[in-house]
Amino acid sequence: MPVIKKGFDRLSRGSGNQNQDLPEDELCNSGLTPTTCFHGGSFFDVAGADFRGLDKTRTIICADTLDAWFPPAPRVVEVLREHLPWLIRTSPPIYAEGMVKKIAETRGINPACILPGAGSSDLMYLAFLRWLNRSSRALILDPTYGEYAHILKNVVGCRVDRLTLRREAKYALDIALLSACLKNGYDLVVLVNPNSPTGHYVPRAELEEVLLRLPPRTRVWIDESYVEFVGPDASLERFAATHANVIVGKSMSKVYALSGVRAAYLCAVRPVIEELKAMVPPWSISLPAQLAAVTALDCFDYYTQRYRQTRDLRGALTARLEGRTDMQIIPGTANFLLAHLSERGPDAATLVENCRGRGLLVRDASNMGCEIGSRAIRITIQDAETNQAIAKILTEALLDLNVAKTPSA
């Protein structure tokens, strides 16, 4: 298979079957449609999107989304609880000025180089629809977070090429190959670091060396939603604040346990931030989100301990699963594991459905790339007791499914 999978100009926009003019390999195994991108997160399918089944949080293991296994820092919960009625009824600071100031102080970055948003997806749509059009060319990793392929192909409508990451290389990104690709005149290159669903991290110094040689027309968007799990000084935020074509996106959902309030920010040079800020509506980040984000950034010791525990928990769950003959674990650096199921056993969709019936939700990762295959699952790290339950349920499910697949004598 080619290392670079060439995209096509755009999706068919005709009436009827909107994918009717697309070659089969353009659709890959992505699960994408012109209007939505498939994501994990089946809890509300089970419990009900009307929130009447929230008691099921005590009986269902949600390991299919990448939400934190730990709660927000106690101080975050305390301050929200103390002021909740006022927070709900009060309009927030118009452009989250206090949140910007706190991020700048914590990260050591000029406030003018920071743009806050209501989650990283909010900022992706803002930026990409501003910068790109149907004649643009973009490069993404394969596999990677599916929303990038969706917005570029189905919303912007531009050509998307894919830099294929190989299973035999444990999905490591070849820096020399990336450097060569950056010479191809792309308008946008998207790197998720650590990547999802693989968990592979490219060290900051290696990326900086490549990014120093960027062509003037090429922007590189680096999604660092999980970088705090890697360790201190792993982020390219400060680099992005001083280099014109590099933009770092930071979700505060996973690493600060704030997925429900939606808080994120971009870091880039001042002209880029000013261009995008002009497109941001007032009051776009809720007051609870702003307060939670500001308070969380003051709780360094709490979260540092949680990141250390996450690394230990990931190692322990890996040790429980990697000796199996029916599963290959891909080593990673974030709050999840990627696993490939044996060709002799069930595919990912079958295992995911079986586990769901046992109260365990895991992610079928087969739609996160063209080359990852139909037997990849992603498992979000949980606390030690829950990780034991995950390993037990996976063992039981695979045993039952393998027995069912074995022909009778």
Across the range 250-265, mean pLDDT stands at 97
Residue 19 domain-assigned?
no
Do 292 and 350 lie in one domain? The reply is no
Do 267 and 137 lie in one domain? The reply is yes
Residue 202 domain-assigned?
yes
Do 228 and 365 lie in one domain? The reply is no
Do 115 and 185 lie in one domain? The reply is yes
Confidence band (pLDDT; 50, 70, 90) for 110? very high
pLDDT in tens, 137-166: 999 999 999 999 999 999 999 999 999 999
237, pLDDT greater than 90? yes
Residue 12 domain-assigned?
no
374, pLDDT greater than 50? yes
Which pLDDT belongs to residue 7? 67
Do 58 and 80 lie in one domain? The reply is no
286, pLDDT greater than 70? yes
Do 253 and 338 lie in one domain? The reply is no
Residue 278 domain-assigned?
yes
Across the range 89-117, mean pLDDT stands at 98
Is the pLDDT higher at 25 or at 12? 25
Confidence band (pLDDT; 50, 70, 90) for 29? very low
Which pLDDT belongs to residue 14? 28
98: Cα separation from own chain's centroid? 26
Based on its alpha-carbon atoms, the radius of gyration of the chain, rounded to whole angstroms, reads: 21
Confidence band (pLDDT; 50, 70, 90) for 43? confident
409, pLDDT greater than 80? no
Do 92 and 165 lie in one domain? The reply is yes
End residue of a domain, out of 299, 328, 360:
299
CATH of the domain at 344: 3.90.1150.10
Domain that holds residue 261: 74-299
Residue 371 domain-assigned?
yes
Which pLDDT belongs to residue 56? 85
End residue of a domain, out of 243, 274, 299:
299
Is the pLDDT higher at 1 or at 3? 3
pLDDT in tens, 355-365: 999 999 999 99
pTM of the predicted model as reported, rounded to 2 decimal places: 0.91
Do 289 and 327 lie in one domain? The reply is no
Q: State the chain's mean pLDDT as an integer.
A: 91
Do 246 and 389 lie in one domain? The reply is no
Residue 240 domain-assigned?
yes
Is the pLDDT higher at 404 or at 65? 65
Residue 252 domain-assigned?
yes
CATH of the domain at 283: 3.40.640.10
Which pLDDT belongs to residue 323? 82
Across the range 381-407, mean pLDDT stands at 90
Residue 10 domain-assigned?
no
Across the range 319-326, mean pLDDT stands at 89
